[in-house]
Structure 1
Amino acid sequence: MYMTKEETEAHYGPMVRFYKEKPNAIIWHTYPVKENFTTYFFSFDQKIIYEFWEDFPQNLTREEVYLFTKENPRMAELRGCRIIHGQLICE
């Protein structure tokens, strides 16, 4: 379930700073200092942090799922979401 930054750090340990993969990206990424490669964290506002495997797509709004899928199509495809002709499809 998505958590605040403070809750995430209490559970997983300190997070590295937020970063964007591209300058014009909407989504912020972060990960625990104790690099745990089984987790994939992201945020839209740097306040609420989502864990991909637990939260995507069910704990995001439809708009957030669309934005994530648009920026990270390969990751979204792992959870059955893609954009076809501008329409979000999640299986």
Structure 2
Amino acid sequence: MDIPIMITFEAGLSFLGLGVPPPNPSWGHVLRVGYLNVRAAPHIVVYGGIALILATLGFTLLGERLRDVFDPKLQRGGEI
């Protein structure tokens, strides 16, 4: 479950200008545009950052839950 790491990595590359081209949507590009215009529109950085955090946190929690459900070594009530 490396989805959160890949999302953050792609956003970082796009923020630096090394990711997907600008017509394609990317959280890193949104954060870069917001960073460049932070005095005029700080909400772009805030909402873009919150969306990025919620996506990575959501995938992390989903991965942890799936591991708890499907990992036979972590069965509850049994011996480890």
Q: TM-score range by the shorter chain?
A: under 0.3
**Structure with greater proportional strand content:** 1
By relative contact order (CA 8 Å, sep 6+), the higher-ranking structure is: 2
Q: Which protein has the larger Cα radius of gyration, Structure 1 or Structure 2?
A: 2
TM-score if structure 2 supplies the norm length? 0.23
More helix by share: 2
- Normalized against structure 1, the TM-score is what? 0.21
